Each structure stands twice: as C-alpha cells, then as structure tokens.
Chains A and B, each alone.
Chain A
Amino acid sequence: MSDFLREYLLVAIFGLMAFVLVGAFLGLASLIRPDRPSAGKIENYESGVDPIGSMWSQSQIRYYIFALLFVMFDVEAVFIFPWAVRLEAFGFFGLVEMVIFIFILALGLAYAWRKGVLRWA
C-alpha cells in the first residue's frame, strides 16, 4: 500500500474509533441505568424551553442584526487567539498591527452603536 493511501487508512481508523467509542459508552450505560420511558423524554430538547407550536414560527428580525454583530467579534477572536500565542515573538510590531486590526473592526461596532442598532426598542 502506498504512503498516500496509508494516510487515508489512518482517517478511516479514526472514523471507526468514533463509532466504537460511542457504541461502547451507550451500550455500557444501557446495561446499568434504570429504564422508565415517558412522553416528556422523547420531546426535542431546545435549551430547556418547552417546544410549542409549529416549526415555521416567526422570530424577531432583530436577532439577525445581533447575530451579524456577533460574527464580527467572532472573527476578531479567531485572529486574536493565534496572534496571542505568539505575541512574544511578534513584539511591538505585532502589537501595532493588532491595534490597527481591532480599530477597523471596532469602527463597525461604533457604526452599529451610533446608528441605534444596539437599542432593542
């Protein structure tokens, strides 16, 4: 078998392990746990909120704006984490670069703030 295919074999073994582990845990648990099924237990779980009404309910459009703002900070974090790990090596140059980066992103937040996006009503 070539090296190339052997790499894929590793992936296959990795995937198989996932099934084996989950199967083992659930199987073991089913042997020792009490078994008392009820209607409440087979309902969908949604953050502890009772699932009421149809799936096609309307939701507040404002959530959409907040989600967008959240994405902004999320992206910021994605770049800041690896930067922080190596900050010592980057030194002052790296610090200035990151300040510029955060300034440009913060401009987006300032924009949202000033235009009243953060106000709920």
Chain B
Amino acid sequence: MVATLLGILAQIEQAPFVRPAIDWHAVAPELVLLAGGALVTVFDLIFMERGRKYIPTLTGLTFLAALVPVLTLWDNGIARSLFDGAYITDRYALVLKALFLLSGYVIVLMSTNYMAEGDYYDSEYYQLISASILGMLVMASSRDLIGIFVALELISIPAYLMAAWRKRDLKSNEAGLKYMLMGVFASAIMLYGMSLLYGLTGDTKLRSISSAIADQGTTPIITMAIIFVIIGFGFKVSAVPFHTWAPDTYEGAPTPLTAFLAVASKAAGFVALMNVVLYAFEFQPEIAEPFIWLLSAATMTVGNLIAIRQTNVVRLLAYSGVAQAGYMLAPLAVYEVNGIEASASAVVTYLVIYAAMNLGAFAVIMAAARRTRSGEIDSYRGMLNWAPGLTVLMTIFLFSLAGIPPFGGWFAKFEVFRVLLTGNTFSGVSLAVIAAVNSVVAAFYYLNIMKNMWFMDAPEGTDQSKLKIPSPLVAALAITLIVTLVTGTVLAGPLRNATDFLAF
C-alpha cells in the first residue's frame, strides 16, 4: 500500500504542469467585479469615515462596469467553454449575469439612504453585496458540482451576515441566525446528494454525470442523490416545505437586504437548480419531474393561502414570493416533453420580470416606510393623499405581480402556462389548473393592499404633507417601473428571443 502511495507521489512529481487555457474575455465580468470590490475595500481603508458617502456610488459603478463585458460577450455571440466544460459562458449565462448585475445595482440604489441614515456599518455592507453578486455571476456559468457549490457559498455567506445587519435589533438577529442555520442545513443535504452523484459517476462535471447515469434508470441510489440535491436548492428558493425561514428572515433583515434575498438570491438558487436538473438529470425526468411537480404545487398553494392572512406588508411579500417561486418551478416539472430549452427560457423570463416587479414593490415599501415607520398594511391607508405617485407605482407593481396585462407579470405567467400546456400531458395541464386557481387567490391579497391605499381614510393624526423621496430611491423606482412596463408590452417579444437559448 505504501509502495502504491509513493508511486502516485512520484507520478505527480514528474507530471509536467499544463497551464489551463483561460479565455480572459469570458471571465471578464467576474474579474471586473472582483477588482472593483477590492478597489472599494482599499478606498474604504484609505479614506475611512471621509469616504463613506462615496462607497455606494463606487459599488454601483462597479456593477455597471461589469455589465460592459457582458454586453460585448453578448454581441460576440459565441458560447465559450473553460476548464474542459466546467465553466461555460453562453447566452443563457449572459442573460442571467446581466440580471444579477442590474438587480445588484438597483439594490445598491435602494440601500444608499437606508444605510447612510441608520446606525450601520455601511462600507462593509456594500463589499458584502459585491461578493454575493460575484458568487451569482460564477453560478450562472458553473457547469460543475464544485463550481456550483463554491458559488452557492459565496452567495450565501455574505447574505447570512447581512440578514443580521441591524445589530441591536433582536428580530434581525433572529433573521440572521435562522437563515444561517437553515442555509447550512440545506448545504449539508445538498452536499450529501452531490457526494452520492460523484460516487456514482466519478466526475463532477454536469455533462459527464448526465451521460454516466443516462442508462442506469432509476436505481434507489440515483433517486436519493437527485432528491437530496433538489431539496438542497429547494431551501434556497424557499419552496414549500422548505420555506419556513423566509418570512422571519425577510421581516427581520434590513429592507434592502430583504429585496436582495427575495430577488437576487432566489434567482441564483433557481439558476443552480436549473443547471443541475437540466444538465445533469436530463435523462432522469421520471425521478426529477414528479418531485418538482409536488414542490411546485405545494409552494404556490401554501404560499398564497398563508399570504392572505398576513397583516405586515413585508411578510405578505415574503409569502407571495414563496408562491411566485411555485410558478417558477412549474416549467421544470415538464422539461421532458418540451425540451430543456423551452423550460429554461420560461423560467429565465419569469426571473427577469419577477426581479423588476418585486424590487419595485420593495422600493415602494421602503419609500413609504420613511413616513409610516411601519410595515403594517393598515398604515398604508390614505396613502393616496400623502404620496399619490407612490400609490400609482405600487398599484402597477401589484397588478404586475398578480399577472394582469399589460404589465410584465402577465407575460411571465403567459410563458409558464405556454410551456405547461404545450405537451398536453396530464401533469402539465393539472399543474396549469392549480397555477390558474392560485393566480386568482393571489389577486385577492394584492388587491387588498390597493384597497387600503386608494379607498380607506388615513387614521387620525397622520402627517398629510407630501412625502419626499430621496433621489437614489427615485432612480430605483424608475428603473424597475420601466422594466415592468416594457417587458409586458413592447419588449415581450425581444425578451422571448433573448431567452431562446439555442446554445443551451
């Protein structure tokens, strides 16, 4: 045995080192973001307190700068593969990278005043956001179990810290701790599944795993591996029954971070889930599909039913986000008949539109909270008087979330239903029926918020002067509003073309 070990060591000693060919253009977005993040840290260390007010701007610029190579890569139009197919930059990855960078930018805009006005460590906050977004960029391209896991941890660990950012608030501490414990638990389950996959196939690349288990059917061990991996990502996207951390974490965390968790972090979880299910479990639909069908149906139903009873608007959006995750899971439950491109396209379309409308709703909540200092739906009564503009914006975002044309959410739902109904299978049609019923239920609680804003009188003693909204928040509202409006109308077609992933 010792001889074998020494033999292996000797071989390593003699093997020549082959420098991996790195396509620098393909990893340019990540490198720009990494360099920008390091620059912000150095800037903070040099100027300390004096430089505080420039940090959000610098971080935002970093995100926009990282968007430039994404655009040149898109223009270039070639799918690039690094490290023997472990890291791929194709159109699918690029759409998602652009989504992550833009949502990161909007979240920085939303955070600017919130962080500056409270008693927070703000420069660290922006550095952590950059780190988390970097993880998402890596996630979009990873086609390898190790890459996916490293990216997932890079996304999650800064988020655990930021969830507890309101240091002296017990609710925030609870938010951070709950999120961390649940996240670590999910990672452990997912790792167990991944270790089974590696043990079965001897490879970590998704494509190799896919071909290695393609003809092995549904042995118990493969079933276990697939279910464990999906459960692990189920926590990240807050699918029922793995959603229990979401409402408490969303309520306790600082509001911009709640938006970050509900949009960017959830999207990253979906990307990981899509990569694994569509690349590695391509030939195991008989295991993956029924399980995702169950998750999807349970997620939208339970999320909506609990959302009806919420009185706090942040918790309501948390549960509505759970329900929306159910709609996003649905196309993945029918990937066999439609082909993986159609399913992925529907999910990515939904992710893009969901990011815009949900970030917009959170931006309105933050703007309103500057007056009401509370997240209770009752406090929105009479908002039409002191913030007519916000009332209209919130109405648009809520209509969009409910899926009412002509706003973006309508097109997102349309794409999901199209994929569900195309194959005309029992599972697809039944899931579509469940989703349709749920959309009606969801409209009830979205309309309830609007009723409070438009028709109810403000309680006695409310300050009726017009609300002033700081300019970064106005910019965030404008960006999300524009995206919500155009994706449902003029840009719906181009968005479908962009997510038509031929290179998948």
Residues of A within 8 A of B (CB): 10, 86, 89-91, 93-94, 104, 107, 110-111, 114
Contacts and interface: CB of A to CB of B under 8 A. Distances in A.
B48 A114 contact: yes
Contact of B45 (A86, A93, A114): A114
A111 B45 contact: yes
B236 to A, nearest CB: 25
Task: Return the 8 tightest CB-CB contacts between A and B, nearest first.
Answer: A89-B17, A114-B45, A93-B19, A90-B17, A107-B41, A110-B45, A107-B38, A111-B45
B461 interface: no
A86 B16 CA distance: 10
Nearest to A10: B1
Interface residues of B, number: 10
B42 interface: yes
A79 B474 CA distance: 46
Contacts of B48: 114
Contacts of A110: 42, 45
A89 B16 contact: yes
Contacts of B19: 93
A81 B42 CA distance: 28
Contact of A111 (B12, B16, B41): B41
B16 A107 contact: no
Contacts of A93: 19
Nearest to A88: B17
A91 B38 CA distance: 26
Interface in B24-44: 38, 41-42
Contacts of B45: 110-111, 114
A33 to B, nearest CB: 33
Contacts of B16: 89
B41 A86 contact: no
A94 B38 CA distance: 21
B37 to A, nearest CB: 10
Nearest to B18: A89
Nearest to B1: A10
Nearest to B41: A107
Contacts of B1: 10
Nearest to A7: B1
B4 to A, nearest CB: 11
Nearest to A110: B45
A98 to B, nearest CB: 14
